[in-house]
Structure 1
């Protein structure tokens, strides 16, 4: 992409967001990678070092909950040390500009969007700092780094991370709320997502098939890149440029 094409796409994106009646932002691991959090599917992803079947499935947890908790405690350490980047702050700024005409759906479990100031957030895959009991309805927020398996304060059973593992469905309430928001929106901003993980990728598919506008910011092209406004690059470099134009009027 030459410089003129890049600047034109920045301008087009800002105008689409400015004129939108309701924008939904969909984020994936790419935006968190810019804060130093390893991705699952990138060249330097976590899955290149560990097998997901060993660590991020219900079967793995029930087979060896201690190993799984060691891994999640390690991930918590990395996330706690990380800071939101310019991409996170820019999305929070877009929310403040669009006000009620905005919603964010994130596939990330790190909470960096909230730390950057985002308020209207759906955590599609859960949150690494939430825990839930495998036997009762007990849940809690915790940033603790465990050496032993945590126990439920209500029934004494064991706790697990409140995240969606491979082979598990997205909670129905999350699916329904996300679908309602996606149907209401007239523009979708996709940031740092591979667009291959369903059902989240289905939101982009729905927008394209409905003739609605989609802006995609990602380092690599995705299966949908030919059907939308694709800007290649880092969210932390591109989104501030879009926000700068939004703030000029």
Structure 2
């Protein structure tokens, strides 16, 4: 095995204190997705959207990588082949743990984006409605995150990784959101083995050849240890 491509979702960061979409009482459950995570919602009420992402940005600042993030960083460091992490998460806990080969398909909370010219720059801790782009000076600054209805980042690169990988692993994802929900089938069609590591079976669990269920901080380090032991034994 020469290449492992890994998809991570909110479940891998839940044990770092960052809630998933469905956590009862979590930050997402206090708002309708249509109001805070769509371009239309931003046009209707930019103050609400900025307030929501300012709160998420502050929350992420207090979070630290957990054992699952650290295990994937160790896998990248010690695996003889290539390890690619594709994440749906807008936190940067993979990088904080030491991973370097990470593609943020939904953007990052620490980034700002000009809705007018597309320029990107580091976001302040608190973004305000009407903040100006440092390049075109349009008052159209928004969080550099991919909202529902928008095209995820790095898709050409991600499809190419899926078509050349030996193993595709999905960690902590619900399987509800496309195009990520189609990754396992795409990898399988290209000849890859597939594995799901999740708290519970996802809605697309049938797309995986094997699965393990439990907390990410437990089952991900266990799996990484097995991969590295198998490599060492030749």
Tell me, yes or no, if the aligned pair for 1:66 and 1:149 is still in contact at 8 Å: no
In the comparison of the two structures, how many residue pairs are matched?
Answer: 228
Name stretches of at least 5 consecutive residues in structure 2 with no aligned partner.
Answer: none
Counterpart in the other structure of 2:162: 182
What is the CA-CA distance between 1:122 and the residue it aligns to?
0.8
Give a deviation string over 1:184-210, Cα, whole Å, max 9, x none.
Answer: 101011100111211111111223445
Give a deviation string over 1:118-170, Cα, whole Å, max 9, x none.
Answer: 11111111111111111223210235223554321222222111111011122
Secondary structure in structure 2 of the residue aligned to 1:34:
helix
User: Structure 1: which 4+ aligned runs deviate by more than 6 Å?
Assistant: none
In structure 1, which of residues 80, 83, 88 is the aligned counterpart of residue 69 of structure 2? 88
Counterpart in the other structure of 2:22: 41
What is the CA-CA distance between 1:213 and the residue it aligns to?
1.1
TM-score where L is the length of structure 1: 0.85
Higher helix share: 1
- The 1:155/1:98 distance shift into structure 2, 3 A limit, reads same
TM-score where L is the length of structure 2: 0.90
Give a deviation string over 1:4-37, Cα, whole Å, max 9, x none.
Answer: xxxxxxxxxxxxxxxx221101101100111111
- The 1:165/1:215 distance shift into structure 2, 3 A limit, reads same
> More relative contact order in 1 or in 2 (CA 8 Å, sep 6+)?
1
In structure 1, which of residues 216, 225, 238 is the aligned counterpart of residue 196 of structure 2? 216
Name stretches of at least 5 consecutive residues in structure 1 with no aligned partner.
Answer: 1-19
Counterpart in the other structure of 1:195: 175
